[in-house]
Structure 1
Amino acid sequence: MSRDRSGDGKRSPDGKPEAEQPPWRRDFPIDTAQDAYVARRDYAKFLVLTSLAFVVGQFGIAFAGLKRAIARAPAREVARVEDIPPGGAIVFHYPGPHDPCLLVRDVDGSFVAYGQKCTHLACAVVPHVDKKRIGCPCHEGAFDMATGRPLAGPPRRPLPLVKLEVRDGAVYALGVEDRTV
């Protein structure tokens, strides 16, 4: 590209002298040679700041996981054994008041509990104890009642498992395990 006639070293993008430039280019002069120039110092600052942002993000993720591990939900009684007949189910809220869970008693008398929100679009799931399934009525999804793993429909992740303990005639929820596989 050629320099303009003023001799100040600035070049226009089309290389024409300044007298031949359109009015808008004179109002908004941009030195294209300097426009794309990045000094090594500026580039190094960018790399350091970007790396620092990634490190801070990783520490944030680790801190959140640690905080979640420390603040585990306390054990809480969710039902009495005699209140749930074999083949029955109840809804309870654990660990918080906005976390619905489903406690199912199989016909053999064993208990299992899962989060009641479908892992596809958070519809409320319902037990089908006779079929050994937990179904989602929204999109015909189905989960295995024994494992909580998806069997049919759009859900790809298993239901969150609520860890249980039965003692002294009561069922206690001990914690929630979010599972991905």
Structure 2
Amino acid sequence: MAEKKNTVRVEDDNYTHNIDRNNERALDRRGFMKTLVGAAGVFAVSSLPWGTIAAKELMGLADKEYPEHKIADIKDVKVGDSVEFHYPSEHDSAVLIRLGENEFVAYQNACTHLRCPVYWVKDQQEMVCPCHHGKFDVKTGAPTAGPPRRPLPEIIVKTKQGSVFAVRVKRYEA
């Protein structure tokens, strides 16, 4: 009796009878996951040196010294007035405020909430962030109103030879 050409033998009667196992793809689900984990591992190991450099830089910020920067001559700043300047780099905006005859304070003037500029309002004797109505105490830089939770980074200043100089940035400590 002749067999029909288009029939399937009983022992091969399942849905995978037409798969030729020798021609399957070499990368199955498990192989794909191994490749993915391996690639992630290579990426993690290759980025480790940069992460180490960044961590060293961030941990050393409190001790980092910058060159002295002349802000203004004392005679040019009246009591209650402010002077804007850049410190420690040209991209870091700051404000110097003369509170008394021999009392000066300076802060980086980027709000600690969303980095909006902070302004000295002489009439109200307070530092104000207009973006979200944040306010800061002029003597300490601590937030007194609004969404900011951290104080403004203080810039340590000193006076010598009739001028005010920025000498370093006092970092926020949690």
Q: Would you say same fold, with TM above 0.5?
A: yes
Q: 1:113 and 1:96, CA in 2 relative to 1: closer, same or farther beyond 3 A?
A: same
Of residues 94-103 and 78-87 in structure 1, the stretch that sits farther from structure 2 once superposed is 94-103
The CA deviation at 1:104 is 0.3
2:54 matched to which residue of 1? 61
Q: 1:127 and 1:148, CA in 2 relative to 1: closer, same or farther beyond 3 A?
A: same
Q: 1:115 aligns with which of 108, 111, 127?
A: 108
**Contact 1:149/1:159, CA 8 A, preserved across alignment:** yes
Higher relative contact order (CA 8 A, sep 6+): 2
**Contact 1:106/1:129, CA 8 A, preserved across alignment:** no
Report the TM-score, using the length of structure 1 for normalisation. 0.67
1:92 matched to which residue of 2? 85
2:127 matched to which residue of 1? 134
2:149 matched to which residue of 1? 156
Q: In 2, distance between residues paired with 1:166 and 1:98?
A: 24
Q: 1:45 and 1:131, CA in 2 relative to 1: closer, same or farther beyond 3 A?
A: same
Q: 1:43 and 1:140, CA in 2 relative to 1: closer, same or farther beyond 3 A?
A: closer
The CA deviation at 1:103 is 0.3
Q: 2:162 aligns with which of 166, 169, 178?
A: 169
1:74 matched to which residue of 2? 67
SS of aligned partner of 1:124: coil
**Contact 1:87/1:104, CA 8 A, preserved across alignment:** yes
Superposed CA RMSD: 3.8
Letter in 2 for 1:17: T
Provide Cα deviations, 1:109-135, integer angstroms capped at 9, x if missing partner: 410001122222332211135644211
**Contact 2:109/2:118, CA 8 A, preserved across alignment:** yes
Structure 2: unaligned runs, 5 residues or longer: 1-7, 9-13
1:106 matched to which residue of 2? 99
Q: In 1, distance between residues paired with 2:173 and 2:146?
A: 17
Q: In 2, distance between residues paired with 1:43 and 1:109?
A: 64
Structure 1: unaligned runs, 5 residues or longer: 6-14
Q: In 1, distance between residues paired with 2:37 and 2:120?
A: 58
Letter in 2 for 1:117: A
The CA deviation at 1:155 is 1.7
Letter in 2 for 1:59: T
Q: 1:139 and 1:37, CA in 2 relative to 1: closer, same or farther beyond 3 A?
A: closer
Report the TM-score, using the length of structure 2 for normalisation. 0.69
Question: May I ask how many residue pairs the two structures share in their alignment?
Answer: 159
